[in-house]
Amino acid sequence: MIGGPTATGKTELAVRLAKQFRGELISADSRQVYQGMDIITGKDHSPGTKIHLIDVVRPDEDFSVAYYTRLAWQVIKKAWKEGKLPIIVGGTGFYIKAVIDGIGTVEIPPNEKVRQGMKAWSAKELMDYLANLNSAKAAALNKSDRNNPRRLMRAIEIALWQKENFHQPADQKEKQPPFSVLFIGLKADYKTLYQRIDQRVAKRLKIGAEQEIRNMLKEGYSWENSALGVTTGYREWQPYFENSKLKEEVIKKWQFAEHGYARRQMTWFKKDKRVSWFDITGKKWQDEIEELVENWYDAKN
């Protein structure tokens, strides 16, 4: 597993390790699962690089961690059968945790009655409803989740299921996976990280970020009916396309949103004490990782 905040070079490292250890790459990126959302999400991988679980669904289709887990395990089992090393790489820690440790709420089924009945509700209305159902869960949500109708609806589904099935355990306890996993984390000081993020934003603007959104809107996707309205890097553009903000303001907001996203990613990954961290501003950090992987790989085999 290779995780950490955005703009630390996780995919480049994964490609390098895959070549050396006959690896099969599996993306753990909640933004790159959407088809057509390419430039802003950073699908600028090396030509010929095969990464599974990218471009899985359309932007107006639902995608859950349960669905991701099922797909990821299909790839992992196939890789094992072919004698390859599965390498999960990405910044969506929840996806990685679901695959490796399992999450009790993953198997709670979607509630179509809730989804249809609440599809026109605002984030505030959903948040208020969740707070009445499960105040502890509502209080624990971060700012991003509080403003994301899809995530709020899923939290409501889980809370309702738990209320109706109170005799069953709400969450399974974490358990060590019955297979060997090497956890690698890439990091940098925030000043460096923000500079790298801003450089990537500039690059993506140059190669057509604005036009990508314009094309999606022409195809019929909207801020309300697709991932455009809830995905970092896209939702910040809504005021610009509605003629209420200048492009310069949107770009600055996009940069700040990516900075915040990186901080949240670090907070998530730092909770896992199994991660071996490497500072990408240090010397020979890639060589050190290769040595670590080689020792782990030899011991495992």
Residue 252: name the closest of 208, 192, 205 by CA.
205
Average confidence (pLDDT) per 10 residues, the chain, 301 residues: 97 95 96 97 86 97 89 96 97 94 79 88 93 89 84 90 65 60 97 98 98 97 93 97 97 97 95 97 96 93 74
Q: Give the pLDDT of residue 173.
A: 46
Note the pLDDT of residue 279: 98
pLDDT value, residue 172: 46
- Burial annotation 118-130 (CB, 10 A radius, 16+ → b, else e): beebebeebbebb
Q: What is the pTM of this model?
A: 0.83
**pLDDT, position 255:** 98
Q: State residue 289 phi and psi, 5-degree precision.
A: -65, -45
DSSP letter string, 121-163: --HHHHHHHHHHH-HHHHHH--HHHHT-HHHHHHHHHHHHHHH
